[in-house]
Amino acid sequence: MKSANSGRKSASLLGVGFDADDGQVRLTRGKNFALVGGSEQTHAVMQETAVKINEHIDREGKRLEELTAAEVRDICQQVGESHRR
């Protein structure tokens, strides 16, 4: 039996941090993203980035799965640049 959403596209962002050395296992899931690992600081940056990406997509009035890879890359670059300021 097929699910009601079987013909619908889905997309999600995955963030993985490798710098944790405190023995903690960090996992955060949210709208359009899953984040795993990282130090406390790295994980917090990934969380903030994922939220800002979602805010940007929402302002565009679109859904992640409607965007092209180039559009997602551009949004990620814009959000990343705002972190460095």
pLDDT tens-place values along the chain, 85 residues long = 555 566 778 999 999 999 999 999 999 999 999 999 999 999 999 999 999 999 999 999 999 999 999 999 999 999 988 877 6
pTM, rounded to two decimals: 0.82
Residues 6 or more apart whose CB falls under 8 angstroms from that of 23 comprise none
Please tell me the predicted confidence (pLDDT) of residue 9: 85
Measured from the Cβ of residue 51, the count of other Cβ atoms closer than 10 Å reads 15
Instruction: Provide the 8-state DSSP code for 4.
Output: T
